[in-house]
Amino acid sequence: MLAEPLFIVLSTAAVIGALGMLISRNPVAGALWLILTLFCVAGLYLTLSAEFIAVVQVLVYAGAIMVLFLFVIMLLNLGSLPLMEKMDWKKGLAFALCLIVLTQLVFVVATGLEMLPAETGIAADAGSASTIAKSLFTRHMLEFEVIGVLLLVATVGAVMLAKRNFV
Amino acid sequence: MEVALSWYLTLSAVLFVIGVAGVLFRSNLIVILMSVELMLNAANVALVALSQSMGEVSGQVLVFFVMSVAAAEAAIGLAIVIAIFRNKLTVDINNINLFKW
């Protein structure tokens, strides 16, 4: 009913945002394009009825990570860098590599679909916070603790690296 | 599910390849980090689509972990960018080739 046109609009906007990040000269403009993509991906999670992940996507990616990126871009006061440089054969090689990766991924998607187990359909509360929390705090408890330690280490490491007289 | 699973997987592949192109083509260190974030997002789309299609919640728990690792990676990466900028006064990777012989 509504999900199909919504998917088309959101996925088109997500791809446009990603391409805009790819070709924009100014890093601030690139970050803003990427924020558009992240919001569209959050909308796609909603079309999959994964509400918790959609909210976390907006909070963590669009809220925290992109603010960090914009803060660093403005702190360093970067001008626009030139988009295309010399070394044509390297760019050609990179373009060929991108095409190969895309072909491979689409080929895997196209040929591997029948190997998947049958679709069971989305349960009513498959993406709700309580369902995910139940799995997170029982079956994946150890990973959850390890992620906490990882974030602590990352915080300490970021402060150490960004200190003035570290290197 | 109204929208077929293969559409989500194809969208994920396209977003991932745009991220790969960003890493390969651009020479701005911050744009490269943003492209890595885009690739992580593309993987998340595939994980959530497969998880909801199979009725298995572990995929979404994995997406939660990927987001935490992405946050840690962004913080560390940007701290490294600041440290490099302080020494070299640039974030252009063509001028940061310490390991090139």
| DSSP character string of A76-105 | HT--PPPS--S-HHHHHHHHHHHHHHHHHH
Of A5-9, A117-121, A123-127, minimum mean pLDDT range: A117-121
Note whether A124 contacts B: Cβ–Cβ < 8 A: no
Q: Is residue B58 part of a domain?
A: yes
Contact of B39 with B19, CB cutoff 8 Å? yes
Inform me whether the pLDDT recorded for A105 exceeds 60.
yes
DSSP A124: T
User: Which pLDDT tens digit goes with each residue over A140-159?
Assistant: 999 999 999 999 999 999 99
Task: Check residue A87 and give its pLDDT.
Answer: 65
Q: Is the pLDDT of residue A113 over 80?
A: no
- List beta partners, residue B92: B28
CA–CA separation, B53 vs B47, rounded Å?
A: 10
Helices (H) and strands (E) in chain A, counts: 7, 0
pLDDT attached to residue A1: 60
pLDDT confidence of residue A11: 93
pLDDT for B43 equals 95
Rounded to whole angstroms, the Cα distance separating A167 from A145 reads 31
Residue A92 has which token pair?
A: 């050609």
| pLDDT band at residue A12 using 50, 70 and 90 as cut-offs | very high
Counting Cα atoms < 13 Å in the Cβ hemisphere of A104 gives 8
On whether any CB of chain B is under 8 Å from the CB of A141, the answer is no
- Overall number of domains in chain B: 1
> Which residues on neighbouring strands pair with residue A107, listed in sequence order?
none
pLDDT at A127 over 90: no
Rounded to a whole number of angstroms, the distance from the CA of A106 to the nearest CA of chain B is: 6
Judge whether residue B89 has pLDDT over 80. yes
Cβ contact, residue pair B65, A41, below 8 Å: no
- Percentage of residues in chain A with pLDDT exceeding 70? 88
Listed range (A33-42, A84-93, B56-65) with the worst mean pLDDT? A84-93
User: In the A/B pair of chains, how many CB contacts fall below 8 A?
Assistant: 220
Q: What is the CATH number of the domain that holds B81?
A: 1.10.287.3510
> What backbone phi and psi angles, to 5 degrees, belong to B28?
-90, 125
As for the ipTM of the complex, it is: 0.91
Q: What does the pLDDT read at residue B101?
A: 64
Is B10 part of any domain?
A: no
Report the distance separating Cα A103 and Cα A108, nearest Å: 9
Query: Is B21 domain-assigned?
Result: no
Closest-CA residue of A relative to B13 is A105
Best mutation site among B33, B41, B100 for testing chain A: the one with the most A CBs within 10 Å?
Answer: B41
Task: Give domain status of residue B101, yes or no.
Answer: no
The minimal CB distance from A105 to the residues B16, B81, B82 is found for B16
> Does any domain span residue B98?
no
Query: What is the per-residue pLDDT for B41?
Result: 95
Contact A37 B38 (CB under 8 A): yes
Q: Which of A105, A116, A137, A142 should be substituted to probe chain B, the one whose Cβ sees the most B Cβ atoms within 10 Å?
A: A105
Answer yes or no: do B15 and A18 touch at CB < 8 A.
Answer: yes
Q: Is A81 on the interface with B (CB under 8 A)?
A: yes
Q: Which domain holds residue B38?
A: 27-93
CB pair distance less than 8 Å for B18 and A15: yes
* pLDDT tens for each residue of B22-75: 999 888 889 999 999 999 999 999 999 998 888 888 899 999 999 999 999 999
- Residue B90: its pLDDT value, please? 82
Banded model confidence at residue A54, pLDDT cuts 50, 70, 90: very high
Is the CB of B41 less than 8 angstroms away from the CB of A166?
Answer: no
- Does some domain include residue B19? no
> Is residue B18 assigned to a domain?
no
Cβ count within 10 A of residue A13? 17
Q: Which pLDDT does position A25 carry in this prediction?
A: 84
